[in-house]
Amino acid sequence: MLSKKKINTYFIYAIGEIFLVIIGILIALGINEKRAERNNNTLRDVYLIQLIDEADHNLDRLVSYRDFAISGTTRLDTLLQMIYDEDYRNQKFYPLSNTLYSRKTFNGRKITYENLKFSGDLKLFDDLNLRNAIIEAYQSFDLIKVTEKRDHDVVSRYEQDYLIPYAGTDNFGKDIYFRNITTGRRITMDQIRDASEVSIQSIERLKTMIMNTQDLK
């Protein structure tokens, strides 16, 4: 009878020990989870600050790029009007034609986005709207690069096929090729302007969403 009582006591004691171990493990897991959550929140806030800084940098470049395209299309419109009017002797004709080989390259900064994408840290942003806004803002650079390549191809063709052999000659600007290349450049610069404007709006929307997050208010 005594032996049975001891066995029961040991059994209860063992159950208690197991229970205490389980409680200890749960507490440790809870502490680790809280610590991980704090670390993730801290990392997310660092990313948000970096995204704001990168957005400001990219907006400056995009506005400059868009304004370059707007100025170019205005100059090309004037040049096209001179071509249609056959006003080749206008003193502004040759200077305006310089717009055909004036080019600009957009170099957007994407370091923070690349880090988020390849590290998998995009998942730190629970707000799907914010996460999608980040992706959309940086992917808008892709359209700019496509239109920029198309524009630079037009410039290269003009330089190689027309400017080098015909610059300074009496027939410069008077043929159908010159009119077509001017029209083509006018179109590609218009596309650059539109693509830049889309990207500007996307980044401004992202910046507004970040500034409105609770942690940065």
What is the rounded CA–CA span in Å between residue 74 and residue 69? 9
- 60 burial via Cβ count (<10 Å: 0-12, 13-18, 19+): exposed
| Cβ proximity of 72 and 97 under 8 Å | no
**Residue 13: pLDDT above 80?**
no
Place of tokens 């803002």: 137
Mean pLDDT of the chain: 87
Confidence of residue 2 (pLDDT cuts 50, 70, 90): very low
pLDDT single digits (tens) 60-117: 999 999 999 999 999 999 999 999 999 999 999 999 999 999 999 999 999 999 999 9
- 22 burial via Cβ count (<10 Å: 0-12, 13-18, 19+): exposed
| Cβ proximity of 57 and 112 under 8 Å | no
Residue bearing the bigger pLDDT, 157 or 21: 157
User: CB count, 10 Å around CB of 90?
Assistant: 14
- Please list, in sequence order, all residues whose beta carbon lies within 8 angstroms of the beta carbon of residue 80, skipping any fewer than 6 positions away: 179, 182, 183, 186
Over residues 129-151, the mean pLDDT reads 96
Instruction: Report the SS3 class of residue 55.
Output: helix
pTM of the model: 0.82
Contacts 24+ apart (CB under 8 A), 30-35: none
First to last CA, the chain: 71
Report pLDDT for 42.
82
pLDDT single digits (tens) 179-211: 999 999 999 999 999 999 999 999 999 999 999
Determine which helix (DSSP H) or strand (DSSP E) holds 30, and give its type and residue range.
helix 2-84
